[in-house]
Amino acid sequence: MTEHVRVAVIGSGFGGLGAAVRLRREGVTDFVVLERADSVGGTWRDNSYPGCACDVPSHLYSFSFAPNPDWPRTFSGQEHIRAYLEHVTDVFRLRPHLRFDSEVKRMTWDAERLRWDIETSSGNLSADVVVSATGPLSDPRIPDIPGLDSFPGKVFHSARWDHDYDLSGKRVAMVGTGASAIQIVPSIQPEVSRLTLFQRTPPWVMPRVDRAIGEAERWVHRRLPLTTRLRRGLLWGIREVQVQAFTKHPDELGFVEQLAKRNMARAVKDPALRAKLTPDYRIGCKRILLSSAYYPALTRPNVDVVASGLAEVRGATLVAADGSEAEADAIVFGTGFHVTDMPIAERVVGADGRTLAEAWQGGMEALRGASAAGFPNWLSIIGPNTGLGNSSMILIIESQLNYMVDFVRQLDVLGGRVALDARPSAVRAWNHRVQERMKRTVWSTGGCTSWYLDASGRNTTIWPGTTSEFRRVTRRVDLAEYEVLRVPARKKTAPEAADAKKNAEASA
C-alpha cells in the first residue's frame, strides 16, 4: 500500500527545514522532507568550493526562530552555515521526517482523490499538500560550448567542486564572474600556475568588511539574547532603507558606483585592466558582489583577464568570443544555475495534465510567489518574484512559511477532503502588479542582462519591494483568490440507483 502523508516537503535547505519546523510548531507531524542527497543543507551542502561564503551578514542570514549567538565571523563561510542547518535539524527534532536519497522523479495531481502522487528514487508516496523548497540555486547550468566534450582536461561546475582534483601547478580557466567566481579566483590564484578568467560581463564589486567575532562578543549574545535580536534588527533595518534606491530611485545609486570605482582603483593600478573590469551598466542591475580579495588577485602576474566569454574549445585550447586563445588543464564553470527554467518544474504534472514547465512556458508566475494556477495544494518556497537583490533570503523564506502555515490552516477549517487551486485571474492580477512595479526598478532600467531575467527578458525572480511589504502580503491566505475543490460525488451504480428509487417510493 502506498504511504500517504499530510504534507510532503521537497528539499532540505533553508526553505525545506524551515517548512518542517513551522509544520511541527503548528502541530502537523504527518509530513516528510524528501531530499535527493544524503544530508541536509541545500545549496550550502552542494557549494563547497574554495572560499565559499555568504555575502549577507551572519546574524541576518539565519532563522529568527533559531538565532545563533556563536557565529564565528560577521560573514560566515559555507562550513559554518552548513553546520548551522545541521544544528537546526537536531534542535527541532526533524531527522525522523527526513528521507535522504529520495529524489523526486515525478509529482502528479490526482483530481479524483485530491492528492499528489509522488514518485521518488526510493519509492512512491502520496500527499495532500506539496511544499516545493528545491530553491533556484540547486541545478548548475553549464553553457553549451562547441568542442567542450573534446577537452582533455578536467571540467566541473563551482557547485560540484571536485576536491579530489589538485589544482596545484595547473593552468586553470575560470568561466564566469558571478558571486562564486569572485570567491574562487583569490582562493586558487596562489596555487595554480596560470589562471585565465573569461569575463563576459564585469561585476560591480564592493569591499567585504568581514571580521572574526570574538569570544567576548559571542558571550554577550549568549547571555543576553536580546542583543542578538537587536543586531539582527539593525542589519535588517539598514537594508530596508537601502532597497528604496533599487526599487524606486535607481538614479541615487550613482554615488555607490563612485565608491565601487574607488575600491577598484585602490587595487588595480593598470588603466587597461581597470577598463576591462569597469561595468557599463547601473550598479545594482546585477547583484552587487562583495570581496576585498578579488581585485588584488586579478593583478597578480599569473592571472589573465579575458574580457570576452568562452566561445569554443579546441582540444586544450580555449577560444574566446573575441578570438583570443588560452591553454588550460582544467575548466571551472561559475556560470550559475537553472533559475527561470528550474528542472523540478518539468516533474510536476497539474490538474490539466500539463507540467509546471509547460504552464510557465511564457514565464514563471505564481500567486504571492507560492501558488500556480492549475496546481492545487502545491506551494513553492522561493517561488517566482521572491528573490532579493540586497538583503537576506531568510526573510522572504520566513514570510512564505507564514503563508504555508495559513494555507494548511484554511484546509483544516474547510474540512473534509479539500484542495485550494489559485484562480488564474488572481495569479494574473498579482503578476501584473509585480511587473508594473518592476518597470521602475534598477533591474529593469539598469541596462544589463542578468540571471534575474527569463528568455523573454522579463524579470521573474526578484521581489520589487521591501521584505516588510512582502511579509504583509503573505501573512494570510485570501480564499477569494482560490477555487475550493472537493472530492467529486461518486456516481451511483445502476443497482444502487434502483434501490434508491425503491426506497423513495416506499417512503412516499
d(CA 168, CA 363): 43
Q: Is the pTM of this model over 0.85?
A: yes
d(CA 310, CA 323): 10
Report CA Rg, the chain.
Answer: 25
Lowest mean pLDDT among 154-158, 344-348, 452-456: 452-456
pLDDT value of residue 501: 56
Residues 196 and 315 in one domain: yes
Residues 165 and 312 in one domain: yes
The CATH number of the domain holding residue 235 is 3.50.50.60
Residues 344 and 373 in one domain: yes
Examine the pLDDT at 504 and tell me if it is beyond 90. Answer: no
Beta bridge partners of residue 289, listed in sequence order = 205
DSSP summary character for residue 33:
E
How large is the average pLDDT for residues 22-29? Answer: 97
pLDDT value of residue 42: 96
pLDDT value of residue 361: 94
DSSP summary character for residue 424:
H
Residues 175 and 303 in one domain: yes
Dihedral of alpha carbons 138, 144, 150, 155, sign = negative
At residue 343's C-alpha, the angle toward residues 7 and 407, to 5°, is: 25
- Per DSSP, the residues of 200-259 read SSPPPEE-----B--HHHHHHHHH-HHHHHHHHHHHHHHHHHHHHHHHT-GGGGHHHHHH
Examine the pLDDT at 348 and tell me if it is beyond 70. Answer: yes
Nearest Cα to Cα of residue 470 among 428, 441, 430, 422 = 430
How large is the average pLDDT for residues 396-408? Answer: 98
pLDDT in tens, 430-482: 999 999 999 999 999 999 989 999 989 999 999 999 999 999 999 999 999 99
In a domain, 362, yes or no: yes
42 close to 12: Cβ distance less than 8 angstroms: yes
365 close to 431: Cβ distance less than 8 angstroms: yes
Q: Considering the chain, what percentage of its residues have pLDDT values greater than 70? A: 96
Q: For the chain, what is the domain count?
A: 2
- The distance of Cα 111 from the centroid of its chain, to the nearest Å, equals 30
- The distance of Cα 391 from the centroid of its chain, to the nearest Å, equals 13
Residues 58 and 183 in one domain: no
- What domain range is 130 assigned to? 3-138+338-486
pLDDT value of residue 498: 56
Mean of pLDDT over the chain: 95
pLDDT value of residue 487: 86
What secondary structure, in 3-state letters, does 321-340 show? CCCCEEECCEEEECCCECCC
pLDDT in tens, 249-276: 998 899 999 999 999 999 999 999 999 9
In a domain, 432, yes or no: yes
In a domain, 186, yes or no: yes
Which grid cell sits at 473?
Answer: 502580503
- Count how many Cα atoms sit within 13 Å of the Cα of residue 135 in the half-sphere of its side chain: 25
Examine the pLDDT at 505 and tell me if it is beyond 80. Answer: no
In a domain, 491, yes or no: no
Examine the pLDDT at 494 and tell me if it is beyond 70. Answer: no
The owner of cell 531575467 is 453
pLDDT in tens, 96-153: 999 999 999 999 999 999 999 999 999 999 999 999 999 999 999 999 999 999 999 9
Query: Residue 38: left (phi > 0), alpha (psi -120 to 50), or beta?
Result: alpha
pLDDT value of residue 58: 96
How large is the average pLDDT for residues 415-436? Answer: 97
pLDDT value of residue 83: 98
Residues 361 and 374 in one domain: yes
Dihedral of alpha carbons 243, 141, 339, 130, sign = negative
d(CA 320, CA 308): 6
Residues 85 and 45 in one domain: yes
pLDDT value of residue 490: 55
d(CA 113, CA 81): 40
Which grid cell sits at 330?
Answer: 582544467
